[in-house]
Structure 1
């Protein structure tokens, strides 16, 4: 099952959004049946963001949304998503990369577009954890 949530984020809200998105991904990824997720910004329109999370099944997705901490941090974020399109999808076609080792990409290929500090989701996750400790 694939969760796809689209957001419109103003430049002034970007730092707070990335912190919240990183925390939401962290919480969901810790739930059984979650295969991981990511958040990304549109290349052509920096105000458009997407959060995607993969789950083993619809049941795993629903169970992942149940714990108090998820309801406290994830539900409010998802409530801000664009509701003009569907957010939950049944995975019908999945492609797995070959298992043979591939050479690592050259450093210039790792991130051709320079990252702004507000887009660093690892830093955003650390900000979220440090704010919770306070």
Structure 2
């Protein structure tokens, strides 16, 4: 599972970078974390991305419920651009998630 969170740095790019590095370190401590990285757009340097990979969606959701992430991570992650950010990795010939309602 892949999670992509994009951010606008605004007037404080160094502050955003520090915040995202801290959040990434907190995420990396969680069970189910595979890897991740922080990036800055080459055409629009105000645009940043925090990308992480997880064993499955449940691992990511559990990670967000940890105390340290609720305290230090969620306030930063809530500043992300409002767009869907969780993706399934598509393998050749793999069965994809069905686009049906998840709650009945």
- RMSD over aligned CA atoms reads 1.3
Higher strand share: 2
Larger radius of gyration: 1
Structure 1: runs of 5+ lacking an equivalent: 95-134
| Aligned equivalents of 1:88, 1:73: Cα separation in 2 | 20
Structure 2: runs of 5+ lacking an equivalent: 93-104
| Aligned equivalents of 2:59, 2:21: Cα separation in 1 | 20
TM-score normalized with structure 2 length = 0.83
- Equivalent position of 1:13 in the other structure: 12
TM-score normalized with structure 1 length = 0.65
**Runs of 4+ with deviation above 3 angstroms:** none
Higher helix share: 1
Alignment: residue pair count: 92
SS in 1 for 2:84: coil
| Aligned equivalents of 1:63, 1:9: Cα separation in 2 | 27
